[in-house]
A and B are shown apart, each in its own frame.
Chain A
Amino acid sequence: MTITEKIMAFNSGRSSVVPGQLVWANVHTVMTMDYLGKQCFSAFESLSPEKKLFDKDRVICVSDHLIPPPSEQFATMLNEWRETVRKYDIPYFYDLGRQGIAHQLMVEQGHVLPGKVSIGTDSHANTYGAVGAIGNAIGVTDAAIAMATGKCWFRVPESVKFIVTGEWQPWVMAKDLSLHIMGMMHWNGHLIYKALEFAGPAIESLGIAGRMTLCNMTVDLGAKNGIIAPDDTTIEFLRPVQKGEWAMLKSDADANYDAIYEVDVTNLGPTISLPDKLDDVVPVEKVIGTKFNKAFVGTCTNGRTEDFAIMASILRDKQIHRNVNMVCIPASQSVYLECIQKGYFEILIKAGAAIETPSCGPCAGIHTGVAGDGDIILSAGNRNMKGRMGSKNAKIYLTSPAVVAASAIRGEITDPRFEN
């Protein structure tokens, strides 16, 4: 069996499963957030009039999309959300002041564990595969049912394996690999409903941050989940924050895959997705010199300490071009604090970047720097469809934090390998 099949079997009380089989799995945690959380709780109450959660330590509530509220309407929504959560005395409620993007918090705070299944009412719940868990996005109905019963139905997916070998080149990041695979496999293309497993020496050498980036964007490939088998890096990361027991499952040597692809990162350079369609991917060198006026680094894809570290090493003693407005948003308060302590934000501020308090920011066009008509944005986020960050008359290029940082110095797209 593959790791995904083993987790499905293990959490549904079976010794084995096969792709296509339908199972009800026990979920380890259910995450919901400010945008849909109130709907989840009211659907839950319609199932459980006595308001009995399956386990209140395992219902994780987050404010991330709407904070700090940019408008009166959102402030009111947020107040209703807080009132809802407080009624339940939820211990893990990450609200303004202790906030972060839900997917970052789920991993960083130890709410997802190897060998377990965690679900969330947001598409990028695939991120949890970074620590060897199944992370899956679900809707309000599934969240409400899991909150009441601790269970969720799944169709066991076929698995596709990416064996990643070679040496990472300087300034090349997990995001470049992610975009490269997007170009190779297509946005919501052949990988719809599949479990994507990443393995091989170039994956083992990645830290948890890079693994999160890679698993995060599997949802944009249309996949059911993205997963990396837990190893020593995972254990070291989880030991200080772990909540509960875990199972170090991995795929059998004779596991069945729908397809196996090999990628050698030795030849992988900085990569970029052109505006409007995520799979319109080219090496950065093809678009060198393209001017832009806004730069954004943050989101559940690339808002981690490692991302700001690489930016700081590029922007140290440099100045961001006067025609570029850069917004940096750390993915959580812990990331924020760490970046302050390590001096990364001092470097970025001196270079002329604006640092914002953790939230989803302009990623979904809600606040903190949304796109206006005519904007050309160089973003380290995850989606670039028309209108994603605000105006439909804006263009979004997606790339790595390293490319954003290097390009911001010149005000035009640059390959970080030549800037340093």
Chain B
Amino acid sequence: MAIIKGKAWVAKNYVMSFDMVLQKYWTSPINPAENAKWVMAGVSEEFNSENAFVRAAFTFIVAGHNFAGGGKSIEHCVTGLVGAGIQAVFATSFARLQFRNAINYGLPFITSKDINLSCETGDILEYDSDNGFIKNLTNGKVFSSVPVAPFVAEVAASGGLMNFVRQKMADGTIHELH
């Protein structure tokens, strides 16, 4: 993956999963482009129209505590972000269910201390995934992040957990996983 560069959207603390994806979409089929249409609709009024978050063309989300919390197991939160072109989310902490879903879909959810205090919406960031550095090119600040575990990188390289497992089923090594 190496280096990704793009525009960031800065969210508040406690972005809730049920605001990221409104209840009427919880049972929609998983399809990133479709799921992206209304993602973030309940988080902020500016994203409450079709494709509003997609049109905003952010590459990164920067958030505070407990991103995607509220305990919904819906995966649309993650696939919606993928469909909207988000390539990494940086937060001081994540809710465990969506953290898990993000790993399964190969979308980096990266824990970084205090990053939310030194970024503003529209800043251009550069993320060096190999070394874990996040550089805010707009204000020159640099942050470090928790390194991505080898398993997480392997899943991302396979194109998500479903593909990872599919390959292991195909080559008969699935039973070796332990």
**Chains A and B belong together in one complex:** yes
Chain A residues near B (Cβ < 8 Å): 12-14, 22-24, 35-36, 38-39, 43, 46-48, 77, 121-124, 137-142, 144-145, 148-149, 151, 153, 155, 188, 192-193, 219-220, 222, 224, 365, 383, 385, 387
Contact with A along B11-35 (1 / 0, CB 8 A): 0000010100001001101100000
B87 sits at the interface (CB 8 A)? no
> A148 contacts B169, CB within 8 Å?
yes
Contact with A along B140-171 (1 / 0, CB 8 A): 00000000010100000000111001100100
Of A14, A77, A123, A139, most buried by chain B (CB within 10 Å of CB) is A139
B residues in contact with A23, CB < 8 Å: 178
B residues in contact with A47, CB < 8 Å: 162, 165-166, 169
The number of residues on chain B lying at the interface, defined by a beta carbon within 8 Å of a beta carbon of chain A, is 36
Question: Which of B73, B75, B96, B166 is close to A224, meaning CB atoms less than 8 Å apart?
Answer: B96
B residues in contact with A145, CB < 8 Å: 161-162, 165
Q: What are the 9 closest A-B residue pairs judged by CB atoms, nearest first?
A: A123-B71, A24-B177, A141-B104, A188-B66, A139-B75, A139-B101, A139-B73, A12-B178, A13-B178
Q: How far is the CB of B41 from chain A (nearest CB, A)?
A: 13
A residues in contact with B23, CB < 8 Å: 365
> B165 contacts A188, CB within 8 Å?
no
> A137 contacts B66, CB within 8 Å?
no
Q: How far is the CB of B159 from chain A (nearest CB, A)?
A: 13
Once bound together, how far apart are the Cα atoms of A324 and B93, in whole Å? Answer: 40
> A137 contacts B71, CB within 8 Å?
yes
B residues in contact with A224, CB < 8 Å: 96
Once bound together, how far apart are the Cα atoms of A395 and B175, in whole Å? Answer: 50
A residues in contact with B151, CB < 8 Å: 22, 153
> B26 contacts A35, CB within 8 Å?
yes
Question: Which of B27, B94, B161 is close to A77, meaning CB atoms less than 8 Å apart?
Answer: B27
Contact A220-B27, Cβ < 8 Å, known A142-B104, A192-B66:
no
